[in-house]
Amino acid sequence: MYTVAVTRDFIARHYLIGGDWGSENQPHAHHYVAEVRIEGDKLDQHGYLVDIVAIEAALNGIVADFRDELLNDKPEFAGLNPSIEHFSRIICEKLHAAINPPGTGSLRLKLWENDSCWAAYRLAY
């Protein structure tokens, strides 16, 4: 399997709902790091799994939509607790739709909430 990876960092705010999590129930910010890893078994005619420039452009657009925003107000989180698990899935699905990698493989989005905590979502294609 071939692997290509890209990371981006950004700040976004949220507050948790549906439980008593103390200060997490109040709006607060996180310095997120989105770590994308794409794996596949075939390269294209240029020797790319997926062009890194295309991955960066797609990820930049997705991150820009969430940067400095309150996640609770975004339509993607309607009816959801804006957990890091949901957030990693949302970014992963948006990225997959934007780059539509060829062949078969997987796309994993690992979303760091701080230096020691992360959640990930893996999409097989």
Instruction: Give the tens place of pLDDT for each residue, 76-121.
Output: 999 999 999 999 999 999 999 999 888 899 999 999 999 999 999 9
Q: Taking a C-beta distance cutoff of 8 angstroms, is the pair 35, 113 a contact?
A: no
Q: What CATH number has the domain spanning 23-36+81-125?
A: 3.30.479.10
Angle at 111 between CA 105 and CA 114, to 5 degrees: 155
Residue whose token pair is 């994308």: 36
Q: Where do the domains of the chain lie?
A: 23-36+81-125
Q: Could you tell me the CA-to-CA distances from 60 to 7, 29, 80, 92, 110 in Å, in that order?
A: 10, 19, 24, 13, 15
Collapsing DSSP to helix, strand or coil, 32 comes out as strand
What single-letter DSSP state applies at residue 115? S
Q: What is the pLDDT of residue 24?
A: 96
- What pLDDT score was predicted for residue 103? 85
Query: Once rounded to an integer, what is the mean pLDDT over residues 3-14?
Result: 98
